């Protein structure tokens, strides 16, 4: 069993490799302060798993010595299926691990406004994507919804203008496809995305305000999503905006 400390170290090493684009075990040891044997052990495991690739030799020091082996993040190691349910249109997308969109489809949200419509359309389109890329290539499924989600059960609690409430989508989706599934407020996911790889990646604290069919915001504090005690942090108002008036 992997210890919590090893998980934390692995996560930090992966973050460095992804951000640096190309680096080496020696550079990672300098940046983290961890011993070279510890770095080598973790990186070797990541290489075996396919998350990290070795890309030939780098430059040796001016004093000579062995050239370091360059390593980089394998963004195509797996993909993520992302679903963004909006007020008027919804987006299904296949994304690599660096956030690049590989495939994208848009449908009218009216097809999803009831529990049956949401479940049926979700299953049909996810199945099509999974068959196209192969189940073994899908790391996870992310579903962003314009409403509130129970932070423990991930049940959908409320979605304004939808005939949906207290709905468990996570369990049936995971049971059908055997793929880990995350359900979260859509603007919260957007805020996290911007803080991770977007225009706010240089900041630890972020508030993103979304103005569309509805108005809401997502909050990131100290690089972690902030949801509030009942999961409604950032919800500016439970209403639908009519921009035609």
Alpha-carbon distance 9 to 59, whole Å?
26
Q: What is the pLDDT of residue 215?
A: 79
Domains identified in the chain and CATH numbers: 4-73 (1.10.10.10), 79-226 (3.30.420.40)
Burial code (b: 16+ CB inside 10 Å, e: under 16) for 198-219 equals: eebeeeeebebebebbbbbbbb
Q: What is the pLDDT of residue 61?
A: 62
Quick: pLDDT tens for 130-169: 999 999 999 999 999 888 888 888 888 888 778 877 889 8
Conformation bin of residue 234: beta by default, left when phi > 0, alpha when psi is -120 to 50: left
Band of pLDDT at residue 14, cut at 50, 70 and 90: very high
Contact predicate 158/148, CB 8 Å: yes
Write out the DSSP string of 86-134.
-SSEEEEEEEETTS-EEEEEEEEGGGGSBHHHHHHHHHHHHHHHHHHH-
Quick: pLDDT tens for 16-38: 998 888 899 999 999 999 999 99
Torsion of CA 179, 185, 187, 192, to 10 degrees: -50
Which SS3 state, helix, strand or coil, does residue 158 take? Answer: strand
């Amino acid at each position: 069993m992997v210890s919590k400390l090893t998980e934390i170290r692995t996560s930090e090493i992966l973050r460095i490799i992804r951000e640096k684009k190309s680096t080496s075990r020696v550079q990672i040891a300098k940046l983290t302060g961890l011993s070279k044997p510890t770095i080598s052990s973790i990186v070797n495991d990541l290489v075996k798993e396919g998350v990290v690739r070795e890309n030939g030799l780098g430059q040796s020091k001016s004093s000579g010595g062995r050239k370091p082996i360059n390593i980089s993040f394998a963004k195509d190691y797996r993909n993520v299926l992302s679903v963004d349910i909006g007020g008027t249109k919804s987006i299904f997308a296949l994304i690599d691990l660096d956030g690049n969109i590989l495939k994208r489809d848009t449908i009218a949200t009216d097809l999803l406004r009831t529990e049956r419509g949401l479940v049926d359309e979700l299953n049909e389109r996810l199945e099509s994507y999974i068959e196209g890329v192969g189940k073994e290539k899908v790391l996870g499924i992310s579903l962003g919804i314009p409403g509130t989600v129970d932070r423990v059960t991930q049940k959908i609690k409320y979605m304004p203008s939808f005939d949906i409430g207290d709905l468990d989508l996570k369990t049936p989706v995971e049971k059908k496809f055997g793929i880990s599934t995350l359900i979260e407020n859509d603007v919260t996911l957007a805020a996290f995305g911007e803080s991770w790889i977007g225009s706010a990646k240089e900041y630890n604290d972020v508030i993103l305000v979304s103005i569309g069919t509805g108005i809401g915001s997502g909050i990131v504090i100290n690089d972690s999503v902030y949801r509030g005690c009942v999961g409604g942090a950032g919800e500016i108002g439970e209403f639908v905006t009519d921009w035609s008036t």
